[in-house]
Amino acid sequence: MRPSVGVVIPTRGDRPGPLRAALTGVLAQEYDGRVEVVVVADGVPASLVARQVSGVSGSALGVEAGGAARSVRVLGNRRAAGLPGARNTGIAVLGTDLVAFCDDDDLWLPGKLAAQVAALAQEPDAGFASCAVEVEYGDRRVPRLAGTGRVTHRHLTRSRMMMVHSSTFLFRRGWAWVDESAPAGQNEDWDLALRAAWRYPIVHVDRPLVRVRWGSSHYVGRWADRIAGLEWMLARHPGLAAEPRGAARVYGQLAFCHAALGRRREAARWSLRALSARPAEPRAAVALAVAGGLVSPRAVLHALHRRGHGI
């Protein structure tokens, strides 16, 4: 018998179209095990979200899809307000063998679930899986691959490894909970991946099986929240500062965020720290250019997003 899978989709209820598409992508997976979907309404009434997803194929309890049971329920966030609490609300109510995440603006592509379940089955000691992604921004789609079938803790300290994205997460129930102390929900997925990889390398299916849609995130442009989230990560994971390449990346991101807020002195301070850790760190130069008014943060992000990259 194939393992049962519970899928947590958090939503704030302000993008019903993408939410319906995300739910359809999950329900359309060709997987012959039981799949339970929990849509968690955060900050909006669950009844509103239930109306938004009504009529989606498989959105009623007990539906059969591809010969296997599919069920969907909508409930409100019962824990701390925000994305981490919403994810944990879903984890808490599921009784499935495995748990997966899908953000409400992302899309699982065909074969995602079956490939990851098979990869986990081949490595019984592993408890956590991810996969490569396809970044969609405007009219462009860019695949982001990891170049490895195992993502280690060191991989995630040297680089954020954006393809190890929350919408790719699949893990054995009981293996992971989201830390609800993450400031404004920032970097909760990176923190979770680091903690998982510390226990055992993440099993990674290096094919783009999730479409990550950029441009509609609730976190776009929230520079103060990004700063708080990065400082939280540095305090929580000392190994980030111990790895020169990873430290320079985080310091460069902090410099950029301060520059976007017009804090030129702080931007210069973090840029110098970035260059001290890694003289070739490109984010330091970009942050200084933004601080000096040579380019806008929006223009920088647009150029990077067109290539499937973030700052």
Residue 193's pLDDT band (boundaries 50, 70, 90)?
Answer: very high
Percent of the chain's residues with pLDDT above 70: 94
Four-residue CA torsion sign, 73, 76, 82, 87: negative
Residue 14's pLDDT band (boundaries 50, 70, 90)?
Answer: confident
CA distances from 247 to 104, 229, 240, 255, 273 (A): 31, 15, 6, 12, 9
Tokens of 5: 């899978």
Sketch out the chain's domains with CATH numbers.
5-213 (3.90.550.10), 223-306 (no CATH)
195-208 confidence digits (pLDDT tens): 999 999 999 999 99
Residue range 156-179: average pLDDT? 95
Average pLDDT, the chain: 93
Helices (H), the chain: 16-27, 46-53, 83-93, 112-121, 153-158, 188-199, 223-236, 239-242, 244-260, 264-277, 282-291, 297-306
CA distances from 13 to 18, 61, 85 (A): 10, 21, 16
Quick one: pLDDT at residue 82? 94
Burial class (CB in 10 A: 0-12, 13-18, 19+), 265: exposed
pLDDT at 264 over 50: yes
Strands 35-41 and 68-76: parallel
270-307 confidence digits (pLDDT tens): 999 999 999 999 999 999 999 999 999 999 999 999 99
Listed in order, strand segments (DSSP E) in 68-199 are 68-76, 98-101, 107-108, 128-137, 140-144, 150-151, 170-172
214-244 confidence digits (pLDDT tens): 875 545 569 999 999 999 999 999 999 999 9
Residue position matching structure tokens 């404004």:
184
List beta partners, residue 27. none
